[in-house]
Amino acid sequence: MIRLFTALAILVCGIITAQTKYEAGMEKAFALWSEDKPTEAVALFERIGAAEKDNWLPYYYIALANTTEAFTTKDKEKITGLLNKAQEAQDKATMLSPDNAELLVMQAMIHTAWIAYDPMTNGMKLSGIVNQIYEKALKLAPNNPRVVFCKAEFELGGAKYFGTDTAPICEQIKKSLVLFENFEPESPFHPKWGLDRAKAIAATCNEE
Amino acid sequence: MKALFTFTVLVLTYFTANAQHVISGKITDGKGNPLMAANIYLDGTYDGATSGEDGSFSFETAETGNQVLVISFISFEDVRQPIVVESYKAQTFKMRESVNTLDAVVLSAGTFEAGDNAKVNALKPLDIVTTAGSMGDIVSALQTLPGTNTVGESGRLFVRGGEADETQTFIDGIRVAQPYGATANNLPTRGRFSPFLFKGMTFSTGGYSAEYGEALSSVLLLKTIDEPTQNQTDISLMTLGLGLGNTKMWDNSSLSFNLSYINLEPYQELIPQNITWNKPYQSLAGESVYRYKFTSGLLKVYAAFDYADFSINQEDVNFEEPVRTGIDNNNFYTNASYNGMLPNQWVIHTGFSYGYSHNDIGINGVDVKNREHSSHIKLKFKKKITNRFKLSFGSDYFLTDFNEDYNDPNIFSFNSEYNNSISAVYAEADIFFSKDLALKAGWRNSYSEIVDNTTIEPRVSLAYKAGKKGQFSLAYGDFYQTPKQDYLKYYSTPDYEKTSHYIANYMYNNEGKVFRAEAYYKDYKDLIKYDTQSPQYNSTYNNLGEGYAQGVDLFWRDEKSIKNMQYWVSYSFIDSERDYKNYEYQVTPSYIAKHNFSIVTKYWINDLKSQLGVTYSFNSGRPYDNPNESTFMNSQTKAYNNLSLSWAWLLSQQKILFFSVSNVMGSDNVFGYNYANTPNANGQYMRQAITQPADRFFFVGFFWTISTDKKTNQLDNL
């Protein structure tokens, strides 16, 4: 009898190992990312994405990692490669999960990176689209802190340039801080970033 | 015992299932250099690795049997290799560079592109209209590109020694039979299309694809916006008139329209005119685009109408009294196009257009009424067979029905008409031999009913990338065109006019800096000749004309070297002669200037929130025939100069004030001379200069956009 239990225990362990493969993979990918190895992290997310056919999260993080890297890269050719890769992953994620506020924010960020890449060409073309995306995201998830914060941050640039009142925008950023504090991600692997940057921007808001 | 048996079986199964196999190997590029950071994994599993500095990789897997090993790496084509895990042996994988990357070779001989998808942009979409002196006219902006001749009294596109009608215009791939507004003799016209509704354009000055025919010199491809970004209203108040635009979006569809009313009366009152206007130019024009998005395709319907009328008195050396010309023009154009995905990666592009033009022209009591119906039906299929081999083929059908009544109450009246249909088929292949070498080869056959003969038109272009930033291209093509309306209405047995293009191109492209040099040779055959002062019903016509054009076009654009400043410089040298029309022998025709130069600059002044634009154009003199001299076409006008300025001031995010002056220096440009038909008492032919309608052109406008995001404005369109 005890042998049977052992057998069952081993099997169950086996099943548990199989179940947590996703979790282990995601955790390892996040670890690689935090160790400043975005290439390896992205490679692992790609593998997870290829295995978990219905999960949008691995693709979301591929898009996020590549876009974040594009913002800090100077080499123009590399930026194009990173953003194309981000967009490719974004498209896959959107197919799996349409009308997802987090993915709308991601798309807006990719466009914003293109604007930063060449403001003269892409500014006029993409600003309207970015605004449109944030509007849609806000309708879907009015209390998602990333939606509120990223939208406000995007609007802040334009308002500063034209000298219009930034107070209502700063108000939104402050609101996002509260939303961040109360935000509960759906799973440990769902997006939950943004508080640090929101705090930093909120600080510059208070100065003015 | 039973339990033990179960245990053993289960454990065995478990461990067998978890037995590890090692998958290892090396990743290199086509030349055998190791690739670092490539992603290698078994498809659908978590098992994989990233290649190291020496390109090697190794990972363990518990999977068994048939699997697919996937290797992916930025800007390389994915490798998908089926393997059997148990019998897998370490191996080296060569990856091929993707031909879809930014730095891959492009087939670009002869072409200027502006738009989102162009890999190499000579012009950006906004440039078309932010060019000083262009006054929102697409055609005038194109005249700052090399390969064009500025012909001030016409305003149309003259490309590489070709006449204006040798250029065909297409909207969303469908032909526009009457691309220019109505005008009188020697008064410049404008393109009918406002830039508001277009997102990109391709301007080809030669050697273009087999998809396009019935154009000897050039094609201009305009693409309407696929998907507007938001609901918005645009209001324009101008010294010349009013404009109103609106875009409305629904879930799968959207509608944009644009209306404008132009009246030149206030302007003509203020600025001294070189001609007498009895009734100032006024026009009412509207355009609209409707788009509907299907799951796997996009339908666009474009429609434009315009009505224009004016009446002028022009001095004419052959008449004591000025010649009175009045024109009423009605024009309607519509096209519908559908672009969609079919199964098996086939792409379909189809559409049709219908154009109607009606002119009522009065010249000193003579009444000319003409109307033209024209249409184009197009069907094209395209398939990407592999990343490196694309195939397309299709067919065109053009119909024209023209009718003209000429009525001189004192002498006689004459009716001329013609109907013609042209059918064409074409096929073309794009082949990428590598990331550095590509070939486009195409073939077109066209049958014009009025000519009753089939053309054979091969087109080839080859591009080779030399180094990271430069590339060389060669192109060759044969082009045929049915003679134009002016001849067809009187000449019922014409042959095609024909030309061949030979083009060699070098292009250098480095982050915001583009240099392009192109040399070409064109030989013209079978051009129409006639034996009277102008083409008439009783002239004798033949197809015995011929000619050539050769030259060099240079283009430099830089938006990096000076902060907030963009500029481009164009220079064209052309040597061209032809024997056509009623020419005595082969000479340089009057619309050709040997040297054409222009520089366009745009400077953004951040403190003033203003964009300052300066455009300067120069042409050397153009030939004209002086009947007082014995040699034909032996005289030359003085050089042409034009300096234009514009200033766009962003009052707030959605309000713009725009000022523009063309020909600031007031250069008295002369385009040619009209000579009297008969000599005077002293045996001299008197003459009269063909000049600009006014020395300067002023424009002030206020543009206001109302949109949900409160950010968009019309700067793009100025």
pLDDT tens across A112-153, in order?
Answer: 999 888 776 677 678 878 888 998 999 999 999 999 999 999
Within an 8 Å CB–CB cutoff, is residue B1 touching chain A? no
Residue B607 has pLDDT above 70, yes or no: yes
And the tokens for B360? Answer: 């009522």
Chain A touched by B229 (CB under 8 Å): yes
Q: What is the pLDDT of residue B115?
A: 57
Tokens of B504: 């060699």
Put simply, the answer to whether A128 touches B229 (Cβ < 8 Å) is yes
Q: Do B511 and A76 touch (CB under 8 A)?
A: yes
| Option in A10, A44, A129 nearest B11 (CB) | A10
Domain assignment present for residue A122? The answer is: yes
Is A89 in the same domain as A123? no
pLDDT of residue B15: 45
Does residue A12 sit in the same domain as residue A93?
yes
> What is the C-alpha separation between B608 and B651, in angstroms, rounded?
9
C-alpha B7/C-alpha A4 separation (Å) is 6
What residue spans of B579-715 are helical by DSSP H?
none
Chain A residues with CB inside 8 Å of B707's CB?
128
Which chain B residues are closer than 8 Å to A124 by Cβ? 126, 712, 715-716
Q: Residue B562 — very low, low, confident or very high, per pLDDT cuts 50/70/90?
A: confident
Cα dihedral sign, B151-B157-B161-B165: negative
Domain final residue, candidates A98, A128, A159: A98
Q: Are residues A57 and A85 in the same domain?
A: yes
Q: Name the band, by pLDDT with cuts 50, 70 and 90, for residue A5.
A: low
Q: What is the C-alpha to C-alpha distance for residues B48 and A44, in angstroms, rounded to an integer?
A: 8
Q: What is the mean pLDDT of residues B478-504?
A: 95
Q: Which of B3-12, B112-121, B318-327 has the highest mean pLDDT?
A: B318-327
CA distance B250 to B415: 50
Q: In this structure, is residue A208 part of a structural domain?
A: yes
C-alpha distance from B46 to closest chain A C-alpha (Å): 6
Q: How many CB atoms lie within 10 A of CB B333?
A: 24
* Mean pLDDT to the nearest integer, B643-659: 85
pLDDT at position A77? 77
Q: Looking at the structure, tell me whether residues A119 and A157 fall in a common domain.
A: yes
pLDDT of residue B184: 78
Is residue A190 in some structural domain? yes
pLDDT of residue A8: 53
Tell whether A92 and A161 lie within a shared domain: no
**Number of domains, chain A:** 2
Kindly tell me if the per-residue pLDDT of B491 is higher than 80.
yes
Say if residue A46 is in the same domain as residue A93. yes
Q: Which residue of B has its CA nearest to A130?
A: B229
Contact across the interface for B230 and A131, Cβ inside 8 Å: yes
Amino acid sitting at position B538: N
Residue with tokens 């040297």: B595
Cβ contact, residue pair A39, B50, below 8 Å? yes
Domain of A159 in residue numbering reads as 111-208
Q: Which helix (H) or strand (E) holds B493?
A: none
- What are the pLDDT digits (tens) for B388-405? 899 999 999 999 999 999
Out of A74, A98, A122, a domain closes at A98
Smallest Cα distance from A6 to chain B, Å: 8
The structure tokens listed for A109 are 């960020």
Give yes or no for residue B219 having a pLDDT over 70. Answer: yes
- pLDDT (mean) for B607-615: 88
Question: Do A37 and A116 share a structural domain?
Answer: no
Q: Tell whether A178 is covered by a domain.
A: yes
Q: Which residues of A touch B75 (CB under 8 A)?
A: 81
| Among candidates A53, A128, A164 on the partner chain, residue whose Cβ is nearest the Cβ of B709 | A128
- Pull the structure tokens for residue A183: 């935000």
pLDDT band at B105 (very low <50, low <70, confident <90, very high): confident
Instruction: Provide the CATH number for the domain around residue A129.
Output: 1.25.40
- Which pLDDT band holds residue B148 (cuts at 50, 70, 90)? very high
Same domain for A91 and A116: no
Quote the CA–CA distance of B88 and B416 in Å, as a whole number. Answer: 80
**Is A131 found in the same domain as A91?**
no
Confidence class of residue B128 from pLDDT cuts 50, 70 and 90?
A: low
Say if B283 is an interface residue toward chain A (CB within 8 Å).
no
pLDDT surpasses 80 at A206: no
Which own/partner contact pairs does A80-87 have at CB distance under 8 Å and 24+ positions apart? A80/A117, A80/B102, A81/B74, A81/B75, A81/B101, A81/B102, A82/B74, A83/A110, A83/A113, A83/A114, A83/A117, A85/A42, A85/B74, A86/A62, A86/A110, A86/A113, A87/A63
Q: What is the mean pLDDT of residues A67-75?
A: 89
Which is more confidently placed, B200 or B347?
Answer: B347
Residue A149 lies in a domain: yes
- Residue B522's pLDDT band (boundaries 50, 70, 90)? very high
Please, which pLDDT band fits residue B19 given cuts at 50, 70 and 90?
A: low
Distant-in-sequence, close-in-space partners of B482: CB < 8 Å, separation ≥ 6 = B214, B420, B422, B448, B450, B451, B488, B494, B496, B497
Beta bridge partners of B289: B256, B302
User: For residue A13, what pLDDT is reported?
Assistant: 47
Nearest to B691 by CA among B651, B663, B712, B718: B663
User: Residue A103: its pLDDT value, please?
Assistant: 96
B234 at the A interface (CB within 8 A)? no
Confidence of residue A14 (pLDDT cuts 50, 70, 90): very low
Contacts of B3 in chain A (CB under 8 A): 1, 3-4, 7
- Looking up tokens 């962003």 gives B650
Per-residue pLDDT at B696: 85
Give DSSP secondary structure letters for B275-311. Answer: SEEEEEEEEEEEEEEEEEEETTEEEEEEEEEEEEEEE
- Residues of A in Cβ contact (< 8 Å) with B653: 158, 162, 164
Domains with residue ranges and CATH for chain B: 2-94 (2.60.40.1120), 111-436+444-717 (2.40.170.20)
* DSSP 3-state of B600: strand
* Nearest CB to B3; choose among A1, A46, A80: A1
B323-326, long-range: CB within 8 Å, 24+ apart, which pairs?
Answer: B323/B363, B323/B364, B324/B278, B324/B362, B324/B363, B324/B364, B325/B184, B325/B185, B325/B361, B325/B362, B325/B363, B325/B364, B326/B278, B326/B279, B326/B361, B326/B362
E-strand stretches of B435-495: 437-448, 453-466, 470-481
Are B359 and B328 within 8 A, CB to CB?
yes
The verdict on residue A104 lying in a domain is no
Domain presence at residue A28 = yes
Give this prediction's pTM.
Answer: 0.83
CA distances B717 to B128, B196, B353, B703, Å, are: 8, 6, 26, 10
Q: Quick: pLDDT tens for B268-288.
A: 888 878 788 888 889 899 999
Q: Mean pLDDT of all residues in chain B?
A: 88
Q: Where are the extended beta strands (E) located within B95-135? A: 111-114
Burial class (CB within 10 angstroms; exposed 0-12, middle 13-18, buried 19+) of B607: exposed
Say whether residue B401 is in contact with chain A using an 8 A CB cutoff.
no
Say if residue B229's pLDDT is above 90. Answer: no
| Amino acid residing at B64 | T
For chain A, the first-to-last Cα distance in angstroms comes to: 74
Listed range (A172-176, B52-56, B110-114) with the worst mean pLDDT = B110-114
CA distance B112 to chain A (A): 17
Rounded to two decimals, the ipTM of the complex is: 0.76
Same domain for A65 and A142: no
Let me know whether A202 and A149 are in one domain: yes
- Judged by DSSP in three states, B532 sits in coil
**B98, B152 in Cβ contact below 8 A?**
no
Read off the pLDDT of each residue in B19-29 and give the average, rounded to a whole number: 89
| First-to-last C-alpha distance (Å) of chain B | 91
Cross-chain residue pair A4–B3, CB shorter than 8 Å: yes
Rama region for A20: left / alpha / beta (φ>0; ψ in -120 to 50; rest): alpha
Nearest 5 degrees, angle CA A29-CA B15-CA B9? 145
Which residue did the predictor score with more confidence, A60 or B238? A60
Confidence band of B240 (pLDDT split at 50, 70, 90): confident
Would an 8 Å CB–CB cutoff place B72 in contact with chain A? yes
Rounded to an integer, what distance in angstroms lies between the CA atom of residue A52 and that of residue B268? 71
Tokens of B508: 């250098």
Region B610-632: what's the mean pLDDT?
93
Structure tokens, B56 = 């090697």
pLDDT band at B161; cut points 50, 70, 90: very high
Shared-domain flag, residues A133 and A49: no
Chain A contact set for B103 (CB, 8 A)? 77
Q: Say whether B11 sits in a helix, a strand or coil.
A: helix
Mean of all residue pLDDT scores within chain A = 85
Instruction: Evaluate whether residue A106 is within a structural domain.
Output: no
| Pair of tokens at residue B703 | 């543009």
Residue type, B389: F
Residues 6+ apart with CB under 8 A from B175: B168, B169, B214, B353, B376, B398
Q: Is the pLDDT of residue B189 over 80?
A: yes
For B:495-524, CB contacts with A below 8 A are: 511
The model's confidence at residue B18, banded by pLDDT at 50, 70 and 90, is low
